[in-house]
Amino acid sequence: MKKTFPCLMLCAIVSCITACDNDGRSGRGGRLQVQKSADGIEVRGPDGTVLIKGNQESAKILLTPDKDTAKTIEGSSGKLAPDFPADVPVLPEGTVAMSQVFQGGRNAIATVTIRQPAEDVIRFYENQIPLKGWEPGSRYNLDNIVMLNGKTGKANLTVSITTEAGLVTVNIARTENTDK
């Protein structure tokens, strides 16, 4: 799990680099600039805009699908990403393996691991989902996976709890329909 975040960063960097033609120029006729910064590295576009910024623990990736739209993805390992939504329950004793925030916290994902009895973890989430303002949904038991969910307004919460070799892994996803 500790290698997940660096792999994501590498994929993002490779994607930016492969968007360039053979002479290193971006599709807009400029060059990407990669440089060290106080936060790790920065990849800047031809206009100087920071496209990727971070290190092996946290990063921001700027996505611009068109000239009028810009979205930022923030990711972290070892701690929750900045702006991680407060309405998402996260085990306080767990180790954050990865977290990402999209659209200012309306959408977020996290993976948390812990060595604790799975039933204690399940009980924590069954208690916390309604306490955080979610209307609890159904519980699904599938072999070594327990799925819990919740809903509030346009937002959905999905919690997947898996146990393997005494390690409990919790995958959490908060998704919100952003259509107006």
**What is the tens place of the pLDDT at every residue in 6-56?**
444 444 444 444 444 434 444 445 676 666 777 666 666 677 766 566 655
- Of residues 98 and 134, the one with the higher pLDDT is 134
What global pTM score does this model have?
0.62
Query: Where exactly are the structural domains of the chain?
Result: 1-74, 78-180
Let me know: does 133 contact 70? Beta carbons within 8 Å.
no
- Fold for domain 78-180? TATA-Binding Protein (3.30.310)
Q: Which amino acid is at 91?
A: L
Q: Where are the alpha helices (DSSP H) in the chain?
A: 4-18, 118-131
Q: 94-124 pLDDT, tens per residue?
A: 999 888 888 777 889 999 999 999 999 999 9
Q: Place 172 in a pLDDT band, splitting at 50, 70 and 90.
A: very high
- Enter the tokens of residue 56: 């092996």
